[in-house]
Amino acid sequence: MARNWRCALGELDLVLERRGVVVFCEVKARSSDAFGVPAEAVGAAKQARLHRLAARWLAEQEPRGPARLRFDVVSVLAGRIEVIEGAF
């Protein structure tokens, strides 16, 4: 539905629809785990920001009626990809 969507509040990496659920997906990548795994970078402040961005994105869409929402995190570490569905 959207990739690298931007507004004054920030950016959503991916917005997709899967089985009737609108999924907001944050992608984090690192070449090593020296500073922790990538998913650890999505803390409480980042989660709150993503919730605000999702609300803005939804407000800008054509009326669709109520939708189920989910927030996923994609962690890329040294080429290995892990998807955490319903991360927060």
Domain ranges of the chain: 2-84
- Residue by residue, pLDDT tens for the chain (88 residues) are 999 999 999 999 999 998 889 999 999 999 998 889 999 999 999 999 999 999 999 999 987 777 799 999 999 999 899 999 999 9
Of 67, 81, 63, nearest to 24 (Cα)? 67
In CATH, what class is 2-84? Answer: alpha beta
The pLDDT, as a whole number, for residue 29 is 95
36 to 2, 28, 29, 32, 72: CA distances (angstroms): 28, 11, 11, 8, 18
Whole-prediction pTM value? 0.90
